[in-house]
Chains A and B, each alone.
Chain A
């Protein structure tokens, strides 16, 4: 073994030597780049998963297919893991399974193309579940197109498979995973017996395959319109909840229905056009409908009513909120009406079928569409009563429920109980599942989750440090200050491992590159020329000539013919104050990919500090939280004169969340430091995920008013305060406190990118 290999791989580091040994590869091409690739892999792959990664790579090197599979894998896999977040390790065995299946079949040649585009595919699909669908689709194509040509045995590889892999990133730009499935299915069904044609189909070189692609992409992908939908919610409805897509392609039995819960508004991942209504408008209809419930519906107690009665209440309530929505924006009627089925009056036979759903859907149609043309007397009477109830106000869920129950009673039939129900034309697919409309007295899950949040920080709070500083607090009720009310303890933030922060920064390498470009534009260019000066340090020749010509020509010359230089005026001191309250522990996203707000804040703070360090503005960073007015903690993370170095990074790495948010006291204390700086501009940047609050204060207005006061005090000192809020509900109070100087981040995931961008735009 002590031959060529050891020369090639004289790795310095014992760990690297160990990795190389585990990889067990003899390819010199691999040895050349191994160290570099490992460095990249170490950034995203967790230590416990490393062996599996190296084993997989080693396996790929021994397939007898040359160096390509192993090289491609080493190159691409870290990106796959990055795209999958923490689901990376789940995906590896599934991918390797599929590789083995290809190797066993005559399709081994497709392994490299498969690995080649896997990272791009993963980036588009984003979850292990979706990626599994992709593997299933590919496997299906493989088994159904391998070797069956002209009845031969499995000796021919699938002509379409490598093509599919090559085109996959492009296809997924255009199609949902469901659309991809249909497109592949079409290709298999029509071209499984024509190898050349099949190859052309999957290579997108056949008119047919492009046409099917076009057809499949008729849908509007959520991923493509997400921003527009958030803007829609905000502009028309002043709502700013999260939008969360669910997959529609694989739940054949029970099509999922829109709904909303604590985590946001749930909508399908794709909407096809429906007649004249474009996919985007279907999304808008879904959102508007849910907004209507959020505005006007109140939960009802379900236990008292039968399932039929509940169904009727839901139909009636849906109609009520839509009527109110149309009042706000009349154009919605056209969209709702186009999407609402039009049940035919006599289509349901009450002798054999339960027709209640059918009757309710007719009623619903009639509420929306004055030209419904239904003759049924009861229906017409109830539609009239419905409009009368809403004539001079929004009415209420309870009132409409009363009407719904009366309608059920009036139109009741024995056959409503029949097991055969007419569903046709009764499903209104832009409506949500109304889960919000019901509460159940039984099985209340109002568990008391209270476990003492102070416990874990109790140790820390025993830190002995400087004596506290006392600050006043504004009492809006009496319009006076409570003197020496809040005690602020300051301390140096504990340190962790600075390498963790470097790892975070590497993750944002692309963003850093982009920032770097912006920073270079902003960087003080030592001298700035100021033109059009009456008095200046030198003559501005262009302007002077122009003035002379004017003068000679008898016109009045512009006397501002000088220019002067000024060393750039970028004289800014900034203090970043970070909210470290308990709520930062909240997780965003689902499953293992979830990140806490704290983690995102660490990334954002690091990027900002890095950026400002390059720019040269003095920056201080501090964190704060509180446990009643007797204990406001203010922790120094970076001082104005410290560089962005390992010491500081180590402190950022150790940031922890706990306790409450007594903002006013922290702001005043930060102002105490910032006020001592001599700079033209002094900026206090506050990063928070919520409103001021503390456990010894019950009136939410109190700390809001105090914080507002603190901001005013800072303003009077010449310190500009700017708040970046991560609280989607912040619109309610943030303007009141910070005036115009705030921004609410709609998508918290984008904090790392947004914080530095915000700073740059604020100081441009």
Chain B
């Protein structure tokens, strides 16, 4: 579904991604692991169009989408829940959800809204409240719910569990599984490597801007190097 190859991306003169390539199969969950500063967010920004790569190619559903803007990519079916959630703080919970469906013209928006509010009762309770007044966990729920309202084919999630209590983290991972069950493909960046790999089909490991390992999630979970570096297990 998504084919990224030979990406070289820069911030100014500093090269952050070096020949990054990855592949996401339709209907799967794929995780990108990596230490702080490895380039995970930069990879997500590049795929969602926030950052234009200097070199390389991004193919989505067989079409070359390299260099398109985020709003154009969303219309093709790629949505990003960015790191740090980025909800619209000065707009209400309901308006945030409506903005999720901004690009849609189909007749199912109302139905999806009801579905999302039923899945996230806390958002329904607070629908008139300003987004900025929600707690961190609630904001993350809102960010994910808003992305669901965009009805993407491929959902990019950049550290959705960052800074959340363990119970909420478990809930987030459940939601990700549910999203996949509704037919949406997921590309995930996570620090909770073990939990992420458990729900994933495939994984990549990024180190200082390069892909250094890849494999099925099951293989990565038992790989001794990965265990030591990312799963906190001494071998």
Determine if chain A interacts with chain B: no
| Partner-B contacts on A (CB < 8 A) | none
